[in-house]
Structure 1
Amino acid sequence: MTDHPERAHGSSQAPSTVWTGRATNRIQWLLALTGAGCVALGIELAVVSPWSSGIAPLLMSVIGCLAVGLLILFGTLAFVHVAVKVDGDALEVRCGHAGLPRRRILITHVVGAEYVPKVNPRQWGGWGYRWRPEQGTAVVVRKGEGMALLLGDGRTFTVTVDDAESAVRFIRERMHLAAAERSRGRG
């Protein structure tokens, strides 16, 4: 579900002050099942293990399976989807069902917004919250369209989101409104 600002041509209806969008990657659920399988294997080893070679190998196997399983499970569930919300003064990105990790960027800190037709996880080193020195920071949950924000400190923030073109238009509009308010405050 995506709510996008829509203007009724010729009406007195005020433009929307919030844009929301999201992107989902259902393949991540398969990876989460793999993590759950590792956790189940660790539990099974702990409960019904007839290991005759001692407690140390059993303990290492159980702890290894549980640790790997939990890392895979929680690491993938955090990036099953991303939700983006742009309101009057900021852009907020929330990942997964818990909304973590979360990033909030003030519109006054954005100096440019660009539509990116093809964001590929390979160019960022995979899915998730990514940082590359030559590219900046990104939240990548799937291959496809996204938007890139150029920030006032020279860094770039990219996020995959459905209908990124309308998000970019909305952010640019908010940037112009913020600039107009700043210029009115000076004069």
Structure 2
Amino acid sequence: MRELSRNEPAPAVWTGRATNRFQWVAAAAGAACMALGITLAVESPWTSGIAALLMAVIGCVAAGLLVLFGTLAFVHVAVKVDDRAMEVRCGHIGVPRRRIPLTQVVGADFAPSVTPRQWGGWGYRWRPEKGTAVIVRRGEALVLRLGDGLTFTVTVDDAESAVRVIRARLRHPAPPTPPAPTGV
């Protein structure tokens, strides 16, 4: 992605992404856990009774599904900033999703080094004293300061350009949207 120079005007829409390829390893572990559950159900000569077999199968499949879908949701993050809002979409289907109107933003900062450890792990995180974060990898991040005193942090490549675009939008807000015409 091309970096935005300091003198260059902000684009109409800024987009950025971040990817964590390690999440694929965790997803593979989830798939392996599901496969173990299915194998137990189909081929097991379990002699301890049907209840124990059923609990093992359901446990393996449920744990595998949780790990598989929980990790695939945070393999990557996509960020879009336009003249009205910043939108963050996670994973391949864009869920979870968060849209923050720029009217709720008081400032934007660049964080050169954010780690999952600072937020308690990868994924969509919330800490009462800090705010919310979407952490898919360690490294640079965009930190929005919100009107309620909390922050929204997202790890994204070229976060410094995103900060410049958002700051430019905050200095020159978009004109209000005209009201929709009412039917007579």
On the 8 A contact 1:4/1:19 being kept in 2, the answer is: no
Distance 1:74 1:158, change over 3 A: same
1:65 aligns with 2:60: yes
Q: What percent of counterpart residues are identical?
A: 69
3-state SS in 1 of match to 2:41: helix
- Structure 1 residue 16 displacement after superposition: 2.1
* Counterpart selection for 1:28 from 23, 27, 52: 23
- Paired with 1:5 and 1:165, the residues of 2 have a C-alpha distance of 9
Partner of 1:185: none
1:81 aligns with 2:76: yes
Task: Choose between structure 1 and 2 for higher RCO, CA contacts under 8 A separated by at least 6 residues.
Answer: 2
- Paired with 1:3 and 1:96, the residues of 2 have a C-alpha distance of 23
1:111 aligns with 2:134: no
Q: Which portions of structure 1, spanning 4 or more consecutive aligned residues, are displaced by more than 2 angstroms?
A: 2-9
**Structure 1 gaps, min length 5:** 183-187
- Structure 1 residue 47 displacement after superposition: 0.6
* Counterpart selection for 1:94 from 86, 89, 93: 89
- Paired with 1:175 and 1:7, the residues of 2 have a C-alpha distance of 16
Partner of 2:159: 164
3-state SS in 2 of match to 1:178: coil
Partner of 1:139: 134
Task: Give me the TM-score of the superposition, normalised by structure 1.
Answer: 0.89
- Structure 1 residue 154 displacement after superposition: 1.4
Aligned length: 176
1:56 aligns with 2:51: yes
- Structure 1 residue 8 displacement after superposition: 8.9
- Paired with 1:7 and 1:143, the residues of 2 have a C-alpha distance of 25
Aligned-residue CA RMSD (Å): 1.9
